[in-house]
């Protein structure tokens, strides 16, 4: 297994939050309401360095620090950049808000943007964005995550999507082709299993990360993230149940994170995997002879992928919001991002950035194209999404482990979802 610290996977980008509600955050945050774009806790004239907090650990730390250093080199503006471990990030922001110690800029999980905006911790950037006039340059999905109550509370930084990775030789040996639908995926996974290998691997580990694959199946079946006791919920759960019962996947998926899933695929112990673009460089380096074909996520009643993203925000305690905005807008330039993104194995959030020839590579293009169909929770659901996703994994786990029926698991998941949404 590869060193978990050697890769910054989408796991760290999705686990968004600690189960904190917007109300709980607001109760601890000065004002308890979104800050206006024309207001700040200071007069906006701070002359110290811009403070910038992020949660990019491992090999992802150096690229963001190098990007910020480049800004300083070009402009002379000092930036005090601080890494906070992802597991502590939201809590640290909350604690900083109670003591008026927020940074000028916070890089936050896209799904948490509404949570922090509702709490009053973020500056409304609507006026700046309107004057800037570049909002139409973004893919719709990433941009939507910055919108709360009709206002803009951040700028998208990077994105990722999920696809179906296939080992062409393994599928050919099994007499099947790369699938395009979930029905074909089941058939291919079962056909390619045997002799200690499995047809399909994905992360099903306890927690938010382990919910992604099943939620993708659910969404493809036409599911609504607020309604799990539906035909889509049954379809998705029975699909994964069949895959396990007929040997298409291993029981090990319930203990595997995305690094483990990648290891299974890289070592050719699996013919297909569901994963993000984060591992492209690692696969090329570690298994250069593997015949890779990446295809879009399988469809059912609809075609859908998963959006993993981060947003750059300015907090309501920024000592110099104008200087912070200058840094954010500088980071959005296509020529800047097209140097930064390949090092991160991340995707562009802007359509003009995606026009660069490097994104026309056949494999990368599959991931980029899926930005058009990448799902993210709507504004009303986003603050509770971490709790819902974790409950979805538990439902899948209970069915695949045999401890619950499909109906009982979905009923319990629905109850947790209703409670999380205050329904």
Q: Rounded to whole angstroms, how far apart are CA atoms 369 and 372?
A: 6
Q: 42 with 145, same domain?
A: yes
pLDDT of residue 48: 87
Q: 256 with 128, same domain?
A: no
> What is the DSSP annotation of 235-259?
HHHHHHHHHHHTTSS-GGGGG--HH
Residue 25 has pLDDT above 90, yes or no: no
- Confidence band for 99, pLDDT divided at 50, 70 and 90: confident
Give the pLDDT confidence of 328-385 residue by residue, as tens digits.
999 999 999 999 999 999 999 999 999 999 999 999 999 999 999 999 999 999 999 9
pLDDT of residue 189: 98
Residue 19 has pLDDT above 70, yes or no: no
Mean local confidence (pLDDT), 162-188: 98
| Dihedral sign of CA atoms 208, 213, 218, 220 in order | positive
User: Is the CB of residue 391 less than 8 Å from the CB of residue 228?
Assistant: no
Name the 3-class secondary structure at 81.
Answer: strand
Residues 6+ apart with CB under 8 A from 172: none
Total Cβ atoms within 10 A of residue 175? 9
pLDDT of residue 89: 95
pLDDT of residue 46: 57
The total of structural domains in the chain comes to 2
Give the pLDDT confidence of 261-273 residue by residue, as tens digits.
999 999 999 999 9
Residue 30 has pLDDT above 70, yes or no: no
Mean local confidence (pLDDT), 208-226: 97
Q: 229 with 345, same domain?
A: no
Domain of residue 277: give its range: 162-306+380-421
Residue with tokens 């919920």: 233
Q: 324 with 292, same domain?
A: no
Q: 88 with 203, same domain?
A: no
Residue 27 has pLDDT above 50, yes or no: no
Residue 253 maps to which CATH number?
3.40.190.10
Mean local confidence (pLDDT), 267-292: 96
Residue 7 has pLDDT above 60, yes or no: no
Mean local confidence (pLDDT), 202-206: 96
Q: Rounded to whole angstroms, how far apart are CA atoms 22 and 245?
A: 41
Mean local confidence (pLDDT), 403-413: 98
pLDDT of residue 234: 98
User: Is the CB of residue 302 less than 8 Å from the CB of residue 220?
Assistant: yes
pLDDT of residue 3: 32
User: Is the CB of residue 118 less than 8 Å from the CB of residue 383?
Assistant: yes
Task: Output the six-digit token pair for 9.
Answer: 């996977």
> What is the DSSP annotation of 374-386?
EE---TTTGGGHH
Q: 242 with 319, same domain?
A: no
Q: Give the start-end residues of each E strand in 34-126.
A: 50-54, 79-83, 105-109
Residue 153 has pLDDT above 80, yes or no: yes
Residue 38 has pLDDT above 50, yes or no: no
Rounded to the nearest 10 degrees, the angle between the axes of helix 385-400 and helix 212-220 is 90
Q: 415 with 335, same domain?
A: no
Q: 253 with 331, same domain?
A: no
Q: 169 with 295, same domain?
A: yes
Q: 15 with 100, same domain?
A: yes
Residue 319 has pLDDT above 60, yes or no: yes
Residue 387 has pLDDT above 80, yes or no: yes
Q: 397 with 334, same domain?
A: no
Instruction: Please choose, from the candidates 294, 241, 269, the residue with its C-alpha nearest in 3D space to the C-alpha of residue 403.
Output: 241
Residue 82 has pLDDT above 80, yes or no: yes
Beta strand 270-276 pairing with 374-375 = unpaired
pLDDT of residue 71: 98
As beta bridge partners, residue 53 has 82, 106
- Confidence band for 127, pLDDT divided at 50, 70 and 90: very high
Q: 367 with 386, same domain?
A: no
Percent of the chain topping pLDDT 90: 86
Task: Output the six-digit token pair for 217.
Answer: 């199946």
pLDDT of residue 267: 97
Q: Which whole-number Å values give the CA distances from 79 to 71, 105, 207, 224, in the listed order?
A: 9, 10, 35, 42
Q: Name the domain boundary from 358, 375, 392.
A: 375
Residue 214 has pLDDT above 50, yes or no: yes
């Amino acid at each position: 297994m590869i060193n978990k610290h050697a890769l910054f996977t989408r796991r760290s980008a999705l686990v968004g939050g600690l189960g904190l509600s917007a109300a709980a955050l607001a109760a601890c945050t000065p004002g308890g309401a979104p800050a206006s774009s024309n207001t700040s806790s200071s007069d906006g004239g701070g002359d110290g360095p811009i403070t910038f907090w992020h949660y990019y650990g491992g090999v992802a730390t150096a690229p963001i620090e190098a990007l910020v250093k480049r800004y300083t080199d070009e402009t002379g503006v000092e930036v005090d950049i601080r890494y906070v471990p992802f597991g502590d990030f939201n809590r640290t922001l909350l604690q900083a808000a109670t003591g008026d110690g927020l940074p000028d800029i916070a890089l936050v999980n896209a799904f948490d943007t509404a949570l922090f905006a509702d709490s009053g911790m973020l500056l409304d950037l609507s006026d700046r964005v309107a004057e800037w006039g570049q909002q139409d340059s973004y893919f719709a999905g990433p941009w939507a995550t910055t919108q709360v109550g009709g206002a803009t509370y951040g700028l998208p930084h990077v994105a990722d999507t999920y696809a179906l990775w296939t080992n062409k030789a393994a599928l050919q040996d099994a007499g099947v082709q790369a699938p395009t639908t979930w029905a074909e995926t089941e058939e291919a996974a079962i056909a390619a299993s045997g002799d200690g290998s499995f047809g399909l691997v994905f992360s099903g580990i306890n927690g938010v990360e382990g919910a992604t694959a099943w939620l993708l199946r659910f969404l493809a079946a036409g599911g609504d993230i607020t309604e799990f006791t539906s035909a889509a919920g049954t379809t998705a759960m029975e699909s994964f149940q069949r895959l396990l019962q007929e040997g298409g996947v291993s029981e090990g998926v319930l203990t595997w994170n995305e690094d483990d899933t990648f290891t299974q695929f890289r070592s050719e112990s699996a013919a297909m995997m569901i994963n993000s673009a984060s591992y492209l460089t690692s696969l090329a380096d570690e298994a250069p002879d593997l015949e890779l074909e990446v295809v879009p996520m399988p469809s059912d009643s609809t075609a859908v992928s998963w959006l993993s993203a981060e947003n750059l925000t300015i907090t309501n305690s920024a000592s110099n919001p104008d200087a912070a905005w200058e840094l954010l807008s500088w980071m959005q330039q296509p020529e800047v991002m097209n140097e930064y993104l390949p090092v991160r194995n991340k995707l562009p959030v802007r359509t003009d950035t995606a026009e660069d020839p490097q994104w026309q590579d056949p494999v990368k293009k599959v991931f980029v194209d899926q930005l058009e169909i990448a799902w993210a929770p709507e504004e009303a659901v986003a603050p509770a999404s971490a709790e819902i996703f974790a409950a979805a994994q538990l439902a899948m786990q209970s069915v695949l482990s045999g401890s619950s029926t499909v109906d009982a698991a979905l009923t319990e998941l629905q109850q947790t979802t209703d409670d999380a949404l205050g329904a």
